C-alpha cells in the first residue's frame, strides 16, 4: 500500500537539522471545577473547510497504523477559567497532539489530558481581521500553550509561514528550494500544491488524499488485470 505519490520537481532529500524544542509545560495550569461548555463557532468559508478536511484526512491516512495522536479542526481548547471567551479567541483551525489516545473528543480539555497542549497548530487566514487576530493567538500559543510548531496559511495569496519554539520564543522557519516548510512534529513538509496546503515526505513525495489513494489502487488493479489477460489468465477467476 502506497499512500504517497511522486511528481515532477519533487526530489529534495535535504531535511533541516532538528532544533531542540521546548516541551516544558506551563508552570501554572488552572483546573476549573465547573463543567466545560462546548460551543463551537462555524467555519466561515467552504474553501477553508475543504482545506481543513484535506489536512485531517491525509494525516489520518498517513498515520492509519498509529493510535498515539489526536488531530482536530475548529475545536475549542479549554485550559483555564480565565481564558478569553470564544468570541475573543477562536479555536485553532487545525491542531495535532502527539502521544495521546486516538479517540473522539467534543473539545480538548487540558486538565483532562494530563496538562498536554497541541504540538502543532495550523491557522488559515481569511481576511485582515484574521491577520490581526493571529498576533494575539500567536502570543497565546507561544507563552501559554508552548506549542512547539505554529503555521499560518493564507489561501488568498498562497502565503505560508511557520514558526518553531526555541528558548520559549517563536523563531521563523526557513523554506526549502520548493518553498516548503519542515515540521519536526509531523516528520513531514508542508507546502503548496495546486493552491492547497499539502503534506510531503522527506523525499518530496506528496501524501495522498483518500480519494487519490483509492484512484491509485484502482489503476494498479487495472494494470494488473491487463497484464494477466496478456498472459492468458482471466483475472476474474483468481
Whether the predicted pLDDT of 191 surpasses 70: yes
Q: What is the pLDDT of residues 141-156, one digit of tens each?
A: 999 999 999 999 999 9
Section 103-124 average pLDDT: 96
Q: What is the pLDDT of residue 13?
A: 53
Q: What residue ranges do the domains of the chain occupy?
A: 4-207, 210-238
Task: Judge whether residue 234 has pLDDT over 50.
Answer: yes
Angle at the Cα of 155 from the Cα atoms of 105 and 146, rounded to 5 degrees: 45
Percent of the chain with pLDDT over 70: 78
Q: Output the pLDDT for position 1.
A: 62
Report how far residue 180's alpha carbon sits from residue 198's, in angstroms, rounded to the nearest whole number.
10
Architecture of domain 4-207: Alpha-Beta Complex (3.90)
Tell me the residue length of the chain. 238
Question: Grid coordinates representing 154?
Answer: 493564507
Distances (CA, A) of 63 to 58, 76, 111, 142, 211: 9, 23, 26, 27, 16
**At residue 21, does pLDDT exceed 70?**
no
- Residue 43 has a pLDDT of 47
Q: What is the pTM of this model?
A: 0.80
Residue-wise pLDDT for 164-189, tens only, equals 999 999 999 999 999 999 999 999 99
- Over residues 38-91, the pLDDT tens digits come to 555 544 577 899 999 999 999 999 999 999 999 999 999 999 988 888 767 889
Find the mean pLDDT for residues 107-119: 96
Amino acid at each position: 500500500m502506497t499512500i504517497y505519490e511522486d511528481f515532477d520537481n519533487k526530489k529534495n532529500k535535504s531535511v533541516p537539522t532538528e532544533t531542540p524544542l521546548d516541551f516544558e509545560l506551563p508552570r501554572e495550569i488552572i483546573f476549573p471545577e465547573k463543567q466545560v461548555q462546548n460551543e463551537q463557532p462555524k467555519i466561515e468559508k467552504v474553501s477553508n473547510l475543504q482545506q481543513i478536511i484535506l489536512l485531517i484526512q491525509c494525516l489520518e491516512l498517513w498515520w492509519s497504523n498509529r493510535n498515539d495522536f489526536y488531530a482536530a479542526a475548529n475545536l475549542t481548547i479549554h485550559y483555564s477559567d480565565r481564558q478569553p471567551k470564544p468570541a475573543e479567541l477562536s479555536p485553532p483551525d487545525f491542531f495535532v497532539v502527539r502521544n495521546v489516545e486516538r479517540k473522539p473528543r467534543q473539545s480538548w480539555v487540558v486538565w483532562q489530558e494530563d496538562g498536554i497542549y497541541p504540538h502543532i497548530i495550523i491557522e488559515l487566514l481569511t481576511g485582515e481581521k484574521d491577520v490581526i487576530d493571529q498576533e494575539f493567538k500567536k502570543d497565546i500559543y507561544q507563552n501559554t500553550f508552548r506549542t512547539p510548531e505554529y503555521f499560518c496559511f493564507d489561501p488568498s495569496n498562497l502565503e505560508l509561514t511557520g514558526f518553531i519554539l526555541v528558548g520559549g520564543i517563536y523563531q521563523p522557519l526557513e523554506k526549502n528550494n520548493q518553498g516548503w516548510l519542515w515540521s519536526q512534529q509531523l516528520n513531514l513538509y508542508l507546502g503548496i500544491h495546486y493552491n492547497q496546503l499539502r503534506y510531503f515526505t522527506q523525499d518530496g513525495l506528496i501524501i495522498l488524499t483518500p480519494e487519490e489513494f483509492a484512484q491509485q489502487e484502482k489503476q494498479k488493479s487495472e494494470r494488473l488485470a491487463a497484464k494477466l489477460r496478456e498472459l492468458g489468465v482471466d483475472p476474474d477467476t483468481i
